[in-house]
Chain A
Amino acid sequence: MSVPASVPSAPRDEIDGATLAAAQRGERWARRALVQTYQGRVHALAWRMLATAGRRTLAEDLVQEAFVRIFGALPRFVPGGVARLSTWILTLATRAVIDELRRRRPPMTSLSVVEDDLSGGERPDRHSEQRSLARAIARATATLSPEIRAAFVLRAYHDMELREIAEALGVGVGTVKSRLWRARHALQQHLREVR
């Protein structure tokens, strides 16, 4: 299968059925548990899909926006269906980010600002090769359309199946495959610049 390998960077845990049911009834403790369980994945998705400087604040805004949609639709989520709750949540979050990317053009930023943003504020390896790789991936991702970005990020960083990505984006599996191919091609080009 010629698809990118996924990066298992986030735990796959889901909230239990009782907590989900309580969240669907609107109980605040359960909604807090749901946010705490999935906010990291939603934030990572938004942060990578934005792929530009200044995204730290915007990503958190989008997390808020995504959870508004999530809680708005949560009463109609069917537990035990084919879709996991995490997949369902990432689907709504993806659409929120895509809508934002379509709605406005991200601000143009200088390369140095992109580098600073990539540092994450905590990392001491400021001038490492890894950071160059990260910058290359970010730059490559920034050149992609929101739909291709979504396919790449969901597959590479959130371990979603092609069928799940296809349903999330409302396209066929073949289209998802070709979008992934385009994403890899862009990554290849930018890797050449790094090395």
Chain B
Amino acid sequence: MSDRSETKTETEQAPPRLDAEWLAAWSVPEPAPDLAERVLDHVDTVMTMMPDANATTPIPHGSSVALPDRRGLGLAVTLVAMVAAAALVLALGPWWRGWRGSSGVESPAAAVVVGPTPAPDPSSEPPGADGAPLVVRTIPRDAQVWIDGKPVAGPSPFAVSRLVRGTHRLTVERDGYLPVERMIEGGSAMEIPIELSIREVVLVLSVDPPEAMVTLRALGAQQEDERVEIGSDGDRHVLRREPGVRYEVEARAPGYVTRRVPLPVGGQADVPVTLSLAPDPEDPRARARRSRRSSSHRSPDLKDPFGKRPGKRASSIDDLFEGSDGSADSSSTGSSSTGSDILDLVDPYASGSRSSKKAKSATLRVGVGGGRGPARIHVDGKYVGITPLLSVELPAGRHEVTASWPDGTQERRAVNLTAGGRGTLKFE
């Protein structure tokens, strides 16, 4: 793409205006509390292993603007890579000569390169030769790599070792993560990427119907299955996973078909568990429930969260870019907090068809008026997002809402939420 064509495109049509609050919807989670210490440790490790990094990183800058030059940085990385590769060869030489006559992995440390240094190219080694290089790249970094029960010195990435022909057991461990064990075949160059999974996760339950009870089943390879009830809709359960154990969640409710699914665990700490049960056609309670629903109101379509609010749809894309004062929609149900310290919400659903479980919570919208810009919102000391917040579900009762702006100002409001209520809190 050339600069000229890009500029021409820009001048052909006026670009649309983006709204700051609209952009603020894409909030970022807070980094881990120990990130700073890990950064410092990592920097120290890299600087220790590559003490010449400072001297060999020619990042020039102009006399007035201290911005590094990108080509200079690329050259620096190349130079650092060359220095590291030379160091690798020197370090591996004696060890390599002594190791060729051995029958397995004897030395705990072949050579380890940590940090941004590029991994060596496994394909550069003679194919099929004994002692072919192994590169283990892990996510996250700083995992300990073991081969046949012996540690490879230094953390990953990149843990580099050499393997003779035959089967070897590769183990990767890191605090807070499930260990990974694999059998690998030595004798040929390989790079193995391994992504570790967080060991302790929080299961966030979202179940329909809300009264359904969720059971967690642990299916161990050698031990008996374990079952434990972990709650119902809206509950959270902390699970410390064990290696070699499969987990399933099962939802059960009277009048519904029991459903069991494998636990969908990924890399994140919060694991949403969403289960929707189908009514049991053989159960008379299900038939009665269906007839009541059909005579009262249409149940919400979970696949289309906007379908039940046709009035909220934007008539055109331009509507979404209009308005920038951060105010929440004044047409929402409930009273405004303006002029009062405690916001009391009415209970429009008190006689409705909501379940008793849902009625224990309320929905709050939080906005900012007066052109003050987006604010970070904490409810009872817990960060919930940046305004505008359109649907914060909270337990019924009194809560303290704090709005913080980038200039350091803060405002606090107390709200008193009625079960099943829905309202708007606006910081003027």
A residues with a Cβ closer than 8 A to B are 2, 4-12, 28, 31-32, 35-36, 39-40, 43-44, 47-48, 53-54, 56-61, 63-65, 67-69, 71-73, 75-78, 81-83, 87-88, 91-92, 95, 113, 116-117, 119-134, 137-138, 156-157, 167-172, 174-175, 177-182, 184-185, 187-188, 191-192, 195
Asked if B26 and A138 make an inter-chain contact with CB atoms under 8 angstroms apart, the answer reads yes
With A174-B3, A181-B15 known as contacts, the answer to whether A120 contacts B27 (CB < 8 A) is yes
Asked if A64 and B42 make an inter-chain contact with CB atoms under 8 angstroms apart, the answer reads yes
Cα separation A189 to B15 with both chains bound (whole Å): 13
Contact of B25 among A48, A64, A133, A177 (CB under 8 A): A133
Asked if B23 and A7 make an inter-chain contact with CB atoms under 8 angstroms apart, the answer reads yes
B39, B47, B313 interface centre (most CB from chain A within 10 Å): B39
Chain B residue numbers with a CB within 8 Å of A12 are 406
A interface majority secondary structure: helix
B residues with a Cβ closer than 8 A to A are 3, 6-7, 9-10, 14-20, 22-32, 35-40, 42-43, 46-47, 53-54, 57, 59, 61, 63-71, 73, 115-116, 139-141, 195, 202, 206, 266-272, 305-306, 312-314, 317, 320, 324, 373-374, 376, 382-386, 388-394, 406, 408
With A35-B36, A64-B42, A68-B46 known as contacts, the answer to whether A191 contacts B266 (CB < 8 A) is no
Nearest A-chain residue to B376, judged by Cβ: A9
Cα separation A129 to B26 with both chains bound (whole Å): 11
Chain B residue numbers with a CB within 8 Å of A72 are 47, 53-54, 57, 59
Asked if A60 and B9 make an inter-chain contact with CB atoms under 8 angstroms apart, the answer reads no
Nearest A-chain residue to B72, judged by Cβ: A73
With A64-B141, A67-B43 known as contacts, the answer to whether A188 contacts B317 (CB < 8 A) is yes
Q: A11-B408, A56-B268, A131-B25 are in contact. List 7 more A-B contacts (CB 8 A).
A: A64-B39, A123-B384, A123-B385, A126-B272, A130-B389, A169-B70, A185-B15
Chain A residue numbers with a CB within 8 Å of B36 are 32, 35-36, 39
Asked if A178 and B67 make an inter-chain contact with CB atoms under 8 angstroms apart, the answer reads no
Contact of B9 among A9, A58, A120, A178 (CB under 8 A): A178
Cα separation A178 to B53 with both chains bound (whole Å): 36
